[in-house]
Amino acid sequence: MTGALARLVFLAIGSTLRRMQVVTSVAAMQRLAKKWRRAGTKIGLVPTMGYLHAGHLSLVQRARKLVGKKGKVAVSIYVNPTQFGPKEDLSRYPRDLKRDLKLLREEGADVVFVPSNEEMYSGTGVSPVRSKSKNRTGETPVPLSYSTYVVEENLSRLMEGASRPGHFRGVATVVAKLFNIAQPDVAVFGAKDFQQAAVIKRMTRDLNFPITIDIAPTCREPDGLAMSSRNKYLEGDLRRQGSVLWRGIQRAQALVKKSPVSAKKLRAELKKLIESEPAPKLDYVEFFDPETLLPVNKVRRGTHMALAVFVGKARLIDNARL
């Protein structure tokens, strides 16, 4: 084989089997992003908490389309502790990094950023400040050198924000950090987390991040259950019962198709439907304007609906335009 031909074959293989980098330090990720940006290469970021499913992979495919073959697709895998409440599932959140990396390699991601908590929230530890509620060493355990958070004060208030106090503060903070670390031109999020997408769009606009936010449609299982890493918690018959969120959405869509319905009536009807299964317990169901997220009294076509339901150990969320 001539040198030129060998180079061609190498390039051809290289373009189909891109080498995927795994980066664990903030500094290394920033160096890589800076290098790409200096070369004029577009960067697409897909933030995730891992335990990937087809919904996540659809975001990666979208990022690739948006940055093109010559662009770089970065995926972050980080279970962000600051967005979990003290009684939530942080410690048992499903993880399988080896499998995630395999899937992302097959999907053609260029870099996977997998930081540790120390790397993201450096210096979280014990403060030397003395107080009345001392521990055995006489120190109060508070974050030592991590003390900056991003708070969106309007769209975060209802629904997930009301049920999970502090959740969106954690989300906005980690996403702002990931934006500064991976320096993307475009970042892709899922419509599955509708309120999160709205908060991130607002934060990006308000804080002038020079980043385009792209929202991808929700990927569902054949019975309508929205794909989610937390579906792993649905053991036995709970998996079937999990599709009740989608059945509720479909019922609402069918009802408002005919004529506007009062939110109060619709909420009561959906609660009955959802709780007619043995396990599901409704946390909330809201009907709101998709731009302002403000609740409406009359639900009509074009109104948005979001709901959260406990099914066994899982808390599932879903949403759709009615």
Residues that bind ligand AMP (CB under 6 A): 48-49, 55-56, 58-59, 189-190, 192-193, 216, 218-219, 226-229
Q: What is the spatial distance between Cα 176 and Cα 11, in angstroms, rounded to a whole number?
A: 36
Residue whose pair of structure tokens reads 């009615």 in the numeric block: 322
> Active-site residue 56, yes or no?
yes
For residue 100, give the nearest of 146, 57, 143 by alpha carbon.
57
Backbone φ, ψ for residue 76 (5° rounding): -105, 140
Identify residue 35 by its one-letter amino acid code: K
Which helix (H) or strand (E) segment holds residue 310: the answer is strand 304-311
Q: Is 260 helix (H, G, I), strand (E, B) or coil?
A: coil
Q: What is the spatial distance between Cα 56 and Cα 72, in angstroms, rounded to a whole number?
A: 17
Determine which one of 53, 56, 167, 304 is catalytic: 56
Q: Cα dihedral sign for 257, 259, 262, 264?
A: negative
Shortest Å, Cβ 216 to ligand AMP: 5
Shortest Å, Cβ 52 to ligand AMP: 8
Judged on CB neighbours under 10 Å (0-12, 13-18, 19+), 286 is buried
Q: Is 12 helix (H, G, I), strand (E, B) or coil?
A: helix
Task: Report whether 171 contacts 196 (CB < 8 A).
Answer: yes
Q: How many CB atoms lie within 10 A of CB 88?
A: 13
Shortest Å, Cβ 218 to ligand AMP: 4
For residue 46, give the nearest of 71, 28, 25 by alpha carbon.
71
Judged on CB neighbours under 10 Å (0-12, 13-18, 19+), 138 is exposed
Active site positions, annotated: 56
